[in-house]
């Protein structure tokens, strides 16, 4: 047997064990509090995410320009005091479009992730709890989804479903549920053997009730971590699709589409494509830092997966 010495994750486990012995349970809130105290970067990232969300919600109040307001006298103007991030090929204010584009990019990051988490969690719990042929079928299905390069699968689904935001939701949800299902299944496998689940079963509690009342609450920490790490990958996928011209379509706008439109002017107006790229990077980076921080306190054994 390999003997592992102390690792950060096990240190947390030990603290938890000690707390349990002393009769103190570490609630979700306590863990979040610990992260807030220890990991300043994660807190800062949470603030950055909050700022982006608020900016997207209050976009109309933050800028004097309209989303589609053109100023043909000031086409491709570099950043100035009037247009902080310059203007595009039709003289529209880039900052304004960035704020409005944030709405689409954030919604496309969050909605499909929620769908894929729900589907993945339910299928993962059913798969792990029931086992047998149901388990095999669900897991082989997950294998099939995971064996596609995700961007290509999303592209094919976009082809089949046609353009539009709903198609993007479906494409990203279909490509992302499988990894969630795998993680939740393996958690369920160990939860199924716990004494309280066995006790519930011997009292005649129905399987559905056991899954939702006893297993699901214990998967919540992992699900929170997975959510924070899956949102940025959904944002990246949407921006890639829109960049290739098969995601969000005009007259809507998203950061990926802005990059795509701005690419034509890369050499004379680089801010057109680089500003939205930087916005994507900032949000993705913030979600990743926050996800890393949450994982360290909530679910240390996810670390190498």
* Interface ranges with other proteins (CB under 8 A): 2-7, 140-141, 143-144, 147-153, 155-162, 232, 236, 239-240, 243-246, 259, 263, 266-267, 270, 273-274, 277-278, 280-281, 284-285, 288-289, 292, 303-304
Cα angle 262-95-151, degrees, rounded to a multiple of 5: 45
Going from the C-alpha of 54 to that of each of 58, 146, 147, the distances in angstroms are: 6, 34, 37
Which of 88, 211 has the CB closer to other proteins?
Answer: 88
Which of 20, 266 has the CB closer to other proteins?
Answer: 266
CA dist 248 and 109 (Å) reads 13
Which of 165, 211 has the CB closer to other proteins?
Answer: 165
- Minimal distance, residue 34 CB to other proteins, in Å: 19
Which of 211, 275 has the CB closer to other proteins?
Answer: 275
In whole angstroms, what separates CA 117 from the centre of its chain?
A: 10
- Minimal distance, residue 148 CB to other proteins, in Å: 5
Find out whether 114 and 231 touch, Cβ atoms under 8 Å.
Answer: no
- Minimal distance, residue 177 CB to other proteins, in Å: 14
CA dist 113 and 180 (Å) reads 10
In the block, tokens 């900016």 appear at: 55
Q: How many CA atoms lie within 13 A of 120 on its CB side?
A: 31
Cα angle 7-186-203, degrees, rounded to a multiple of 5: 115
CA dist 148 and 41 (Å) reads 34
Residue length of the chain: 305
- Minimal distance, residue 241 CB to other proteins, in Å: 10
- List % helix, strand, coil for the chain (3-state, nearest 5): 75, 0, 25
Cα angle 243-245-251, degrees, rounded to a multiple of 5: 100
- Minimal distance, residue 188 CB to other proteins, in Å: 22
Which of 9, 131 has the CB closer to other proteins?
Answer: 9
Which of 41, 90 has the CB closer to other proteins?
Answer: 41
- Minimal distance, residue 205 CB to other proteins, in Å: 35
Which of 62, 266 has the CB closer to other proteins?
Answer: 266
- Minimal distance, residue 294 CB to other proteins, in Å: 14
End-to-end CA distance of the chain: 21
């Amino acid at each position: 047997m390999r003997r592992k010495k102390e690792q950060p994750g096990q240190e947390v486990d030990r603290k938890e064990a000690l707390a349990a012995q002393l009769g103190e349970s570490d609630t979700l809130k306590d863990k979040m509090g610990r992260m807030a105290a220890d990991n300043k970067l994660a807190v800062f990232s949470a603030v950055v995410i909050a700022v982006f969300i608020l900016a997207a919600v209050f976009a109309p109040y933050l800028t004097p320009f309209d989303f589609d307001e053109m100023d043909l006298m000031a086409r491709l103007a570099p950043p100035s005091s009037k247009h902080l991030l310059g203007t595009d090929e039709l003289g529209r204010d880039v900052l304004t479009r960035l704020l409005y584009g944030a709405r689409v990019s954030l919604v496309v990051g969050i909605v499909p992730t929620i769908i894929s988490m729900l589907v993945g969690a339910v299928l993962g719990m059913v798969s792990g709890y029931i086992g047998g042929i149901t388990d095999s079928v669900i897991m082989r299905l997950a294998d099939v989804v995971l064996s596609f390069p995700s961007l290509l699968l999303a592209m094919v689904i976009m082809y089949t479903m046609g353009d539009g935001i709903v198609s993007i939701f479906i494409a990203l949800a279909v490509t992302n549920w499988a990894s969630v299902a795998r993680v939740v299944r393996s958690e369920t496998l160990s939860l199924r053997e716990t004494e309280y689940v066995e006790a519930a079963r011997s009292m005649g509690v129905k399987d559905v009730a056991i899954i939702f009342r006893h297993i699901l609450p214990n998967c919540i920490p992992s699900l929170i971590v997975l959510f924070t790490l899956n949102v940025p990958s959904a944002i990246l996928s949407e921006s890639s699709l829109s960049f290739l011209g098969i995601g969000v379509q005009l007259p809507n706008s998203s950061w990926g589409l802005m990059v795509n439109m701005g690419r034509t002017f890369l050499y004379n107006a680089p801010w057109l494509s680089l500003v939205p790229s930087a916005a994507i990077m900032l949000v993705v980076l913030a979600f990743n830092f926050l996800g890393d921080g949450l994982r360290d306190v909530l679910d240390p054994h996810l670390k190498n997966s």
